[in-house]
Amino acid sequence: MPGGEGIMPVRRGPYEEAVNPRPIAQRSRMMPRRRVVVTGIGLVTPIGIGRFDFWESALAGRNGISRVSAFDPTAFRSHMAGEVKDFSAHKWIDGKSARRMDRFTQFAMVAADHAIRDAHLEEGAFDCCRAGVIVGSGIGGAQTIETEHCELLAKGPRALGPFVVSKVLINTAACMVSIRYGLRGPLSAPSVACSTGANAIGDAYRIVERGDADVMLAGGAEASVTPMPFASFCATRSMSTRNHDAEHASRPFDQDRDGFVMGEGAGVVVLESLDHALGRGAPVYAELVGYGNTADAHHFTAPAPDGDGMVRVMRQALYDADADPGSVEYINAHGTSTVLNDKTESAAVMKVFGERAYSLKISSLKSMIGHLLAAAGAVEFAATVLSVATGWVPPTINYEHADPDCPLDYVTHGAEEIRPELAMSQSFGFGGGNACLVVKRYVQEGET
């Protein structure tokens, strides 16, 4: 019951068809499950830093993509990216600490700071030994790796300083957040390419759900708009080459899409058990009720052509949420703007939802911010939470020509107020990793 003791009943029942009859989620049926809610949101994105600026821009359909400014992209196949412009870590982090961090860690620290402030998670309001951090990255300290490698070649090994290792490691962001706020509970840093942020949040959800922690900070961070990662992704020929029209290059589900646009940023959310949040009078945005995680086991860059992994992860998350497809009203899609992903994702949604798929509202933030790689799932989950909390869903911008392979409603004419009770956020990564999170509107005791 909303506002009650915070324990969800044990659920039993048949698993959805086409899903392993012995589901991964079965573990949670063997014990009481604590209800998990989102109480804080922190964001660093190409369209805004902090929840307010980001959400205002997202609903307005503002574009955050332009020609790369971090370096001269002329010689590269793709010339544009979703950069976090005019970012100054010194507004939030002291100068000495900031200099010892790569840009991706700075993003994570700023996002975590915003999330903690947003959740009113003051010191003393929680047991630090029951509060942890899961913040992942795909590439880690790319900027540092490039600059320090140049130093090594030019000046020799003694030119490298003592902080290079701590700046480049993928787990640095999670560790620095833990250290800064004295969070002594579970600590990890997943790296699952484009689904990293969603996996981090799903893993943190499981930890709180089973009672191993009361509070978890979770998300992802990426700052790979640097020459080496940029050139590497260009070489996969999966990035857009619409260089003459950067603002319209990211166009998910559009007939003329030609690839994704790289972005950068971070997303961190505060997850708490409902009892813990109510006990300290915390604000509650929404309830996280389901998580799925599957692998395509097919190809490193291309999704399985039948969408099998996507179908299974959606069904797994719905099963975990004890929800049927007919109860979902909005999907924040992975929607990369690549030919294969958008086509396969649309087909997977149609397979899971049947005729219901045509009345679903579906949108892709990547049309505005590009693909934030490991941070994408976290930022998109935060947007899904805000959609459930505010009732509004953001649009997919740059959609001009319908694709017969993508025949669904992608919210292409501006933000819409639909007041979804249940929504999904899904992420699909290089290597075949799939993650799906199900969010439910939180109803306080006495509300209807």
Per-residue pLDDT tens for 31-74? 678 999 999 999 999 999 999 999 999 999 999 999 999 999 99
Catalytic residue among 114, 276, 334, 436: 334
Torsions phi, psi for 318 (to 5 deg): -65, -40
Task: Spell 162-195 as b/e; 16+ CB within 10 A means b.
Answer: eebebbbbbbbbbbbbbeebebebbbbbbbbbbb
pLDDT score at 11: 41
pLDDT score at 15: 35
What is the average per-residue pLDDT within 357-377?
Answer: 98
85 - beta bridge partners? none
What residue ranges in 247-386 does DSSP mark as E strands?
Answer: 265-273, 286-295, 330-332, 361-363
Residue 13 has pLDDT above 50, yes or no: no
Query: Which sequence spans correspond to the domains of the chain?
Result: 37-441
- The pLDDT mean for the chain works out to 91
Active site annotation includes 298: no
| Lowest mean pLDDT, pick from 5-9, 311-315, 362-366 | 5-9
The class that CATH gives domain 37-441 is alpha beta
pLDDT score at 4: 41
Active site annotation includes 248: no
What is the average per-residue pLDDT within 428-440?
Answer: 93
pLDDT score at 448: 53
pLDDT score at 16: 41
Catalytic residue among 79, 114, 371, 436: 371
What is the average per-residue pLDDT within 337-341?
Answer: 95
Active site annotation includes 114: no
pLDDT in tens, 292-315: 999 988 887 677 778 899 999 999
Alpha-carbon gap, residue 366 to 371, rounded angstroms: 6
pLDDT in tens, 119-136: 999 888 899 999 999 999
Select, from the ranges 16-30, 155-169, 239-253, the one with the highest average predicted confidence (pLDDT).
239-253
Residue 446 has pLDDT above 70, yes or no: no
pLDDT score at 31: 64
Alpha-carbon gap, residue 293 to 316, rounded angstroms: 8
pLDDT score at 142: 93
pLDDT score at 305: 78
pLDDT score at 251: 98
Catalytic residue among 194, 234, 406, 436: 194
Confidence at 208, pLDDT banded by 50, 70, 90: very high
